[in-house]
Amino acid sequence: MKKVEFDKEYLELVGNLPDSLEEYQFYLGLKERKIYFNDDIDTTIVNKIVYWIQEWNREDQELNIPVDKRKTIQIYVTSNGGDVVAGFSAIDAIKSSITKIETIGVGCCASMGALLLISGHLRKAYPNTVILIHDGSMSVQSTSKKAKNTMNFYDRLDDRIKKFVVENTSISEELYTEKEDEEWYMFANDEGLSLGIVHEIIS
């Protein structure tokens, strides 16, 4: 097996060898403005995606780099979904980024992972990337009144998800309503492309 030669700058920065090869690969990606996000979506997304988007935008602004000359940020998404509220923090950061952001679907982009893919200014995917869109799931253990408040909030959250998908793809409100109670699976090079979830297929 080939020996891994670790970047000297990395070793100086962290002071020791990485805990895993994945950690080191993530670091190497950052040097090229590439974020490899292959996780369930939770609050760590604020550090893994939101922070770096804000940092690279700040860097470009301080250097007075014209928008069309800025180095594109690429986010490779592999995710089975997760926390919708946390996911929307990443979506807000992506949508508000002045520096162009490409999202690239790899393997599976399910649930909140699919929304993360949809948020890119330019969206790409490999042909056999699986995309899943469905309604949210929840469980409530509380008093009757608090449970009703929670359910009301999640209804509003589902409405936001629907609005986001309809406004950022070719999926009509009628089609979304028809499919929203289903597990809506699709391949990137089929419905994913024809419905405007992705713009390009990587061949």
| Per-residue pLDDT tens digits for 38-69 | 999 999 999 999 999 999 999 999 999 999 99
Question: With 80 as the cut, is the pLDDT of residue 14 above it?
Answer: no
- Judged by average pLDDT, the poorest of 70-74, 141-145, 164-168, 181-185 is 141-145
Q: Average per-residue pLDDT in the chain?
A: 88
Q: Which of 79, 96, 97, 111 is catalytic?
A: 111
Q: What is the pLDDT at residue 8?
A: 58
Catalytic residue list contains 79: no
| Nearest residue to 197 (alpha-carbon basis) of 163, 169, 162, 158 | 169
More confident residue, 16 or 80: 80
Is residue 4 pLDDT above 90, yes or no?
A: no
Whether 142 is catalytic is: no
Which of the following is catalytic: 20, 134, 137, 199?
Answer: 134
State the Cα–Cα distance between residues 200 and 123, nearest whole angstrom. Answer: 7
